[in-house]
Amino acid sequence: MRRQFLLPAVLGAILTAGYGAEVGAAIKCWVNNDGVRECGTVVPPEYAQQEQTEISKGGVTTGKIERAKTPEELEAERQRAAAEAQAKAEAERKTQEQLAADRKLLDTYTSEEDILHARESRLADLESRIKITNNHIEKLNRNLSEIVQQAADMEKRGEAPGENVAKDIENVRGQIKEQEQFVADQRAEQDEVRRQFDSDLARYREMKTRTGAAQANNATKPDSP
């Protein structure tokens, strides 16, 4: 059905008669189920949740009442608000963590040299563990070679190596694998130490530069009279 609109004359009649309502009552317009625009001082209950337009006595639109939101829209708004609140809380948490880390950094080190010394000390400790473990791996490999050679010599003599020999070989190989994994873990920790100390050093320099700039700026400010 073609949408119809109230003519000024009709609107004037509504304003004058007011459908029996009080003089000066606000006129509201809505669209009915047939797509026809209707106006009056009272909105029928079946259209109360729809979008409405308020009109003055002179026929000028003075306001607009948005339609009631659907349950789906309200739920979407709730989820959006919850996500925004969660993001805000996460940002605040990260800010507080950074502030705590900055305080700890400044309390722990008094200079860049302190940071570099701590890094080298930590790397040296890990390197010492790696060296000791590699020496142990060499001994295990020699032990393994001896056991394998003994088994080979027994086979040459026509003797079966026996179950204990096979278990010894398996046991030593397992130890070698564990020790090699330990070395790999220590190497990975060295990489992490370098990354962490590089990050700490960069942050330390940034804070010191910012502090120096602030002090210089305060020094150039004129004294209050």
Query: Is residue 158 pLDDT above 70, yes or no?
Result: yes
Phi, psi for residue 86 in degrees, rounded to 5: -65, -40
Instruction: Tell me, yes or no, whether 142 lies in a domain.
Output: yes
Instruction: Tell me, yes or no, whether 52 lies in a domain.
Output: yes
Instruction: Tell me, yes or no, whether 170 lies in a domain.
Output: yes
Residue 55 shares a structural domain with residue 114: no
Q: Of the ranges 92-96, 139-143, 153-157, 167-171, which one carries the lowest mean pLDDT score? A: 153-157
Residue 125 shares a structural domain with residue 171: yes
Tell me 110's DSSP state.
Answer: S
* Residue 164 neighbours by CB distance under 10 Å: 8
Give the pLDDT band (50/70/90) at residue 219. Answer: low
| Total count of domains within the chain | 3
Instruction: Tell me, yes or no, whether 225 lies in a domain.
Output: no
Per-residue model confidence (pLDDT) at position 201: 95
Per-residue model confidence (pLDDT) at position 118: 96
Per-residue model confidence (pLDDT) at position 123: 97
The arrangement of strands across the sheet holding 52-55 comes to 37-40, 27-31, 52-55, 61-65
Model-wide pTM > 0.85: no
76-132 tens-digit pLDDT: 999 999 999 999 999 999 999 999 999 999 999 999 999 999 999 999 999 999 999
> Residues of the chain with pLDDT > 70: what percent?
83
Q: Could you tell me if 29 and 39 are in contact, meaning their C-beta atoms sit under 8 angstroms apart?
A: yes
Per-residue model confidence (pLDDT) at position 22: 46
Instruction: Tell me, yes or no, whether 43 lies in a domain.
Output: yes
Instruction: Tell me, yes or no, whether 214 lies in a domain.
Output: no
Q: Give residue for tokens 């700890």.
A: 104
Per-residue model confidence (pLDDT) at position 29: 92
Give CA–CA dist 68/91, Å, rounded: 34
Give CA–CA dist 116/194, Å, rounded: 10
Give the residue from 108, 132, 163 where a domain finishes.
Answer: 108
Per-residue model confidence (pLDDT) at position 188: 98
Give CA–CA dist 42/95, Å, rounded: 54
Give CA–CA dist 179/130, Å, rounded: 9
* Domain encompassing residue 89: 69-108
Per-residue model confidence (pLDDT) at position 217: 67
Residue 102 shares a structural domain with residue 114: no
Residue 27 shares a structural domain with residue 116: no
Residue 23 shares a structural domain with residue 83: no
Q: In the predicted model, what is the mean pLDDT of residues 166-176?
A: 95
Instruction: Tell me, yes or no, whether 15 lies in a domain.
Output: yes
Instruction: Tell me, yes or no, whether 223 lies in a domain.
Output: no
Q: In the predicted model, what is the mean pLDDT of residues 57-61?
A: 79
Residue 114 shares a structural domain with residue 104: no
Residue 17 shares a structural domain with residue 50: yes
Non-local CB neighbours of 170 within 8 Å, separated by 6+ positions: none
Residue 56 shares a structural domain with residue 126: no
Give the pLDDT band (50/70/90) at residue 9. Answer: very low
Residue 138 shares a structural domain with residue 186: yes
Q: Of the ranges 12-16, 139-143, 157-161, 193-197, which one carries the lowest mean pLDDT score? A: 12-16
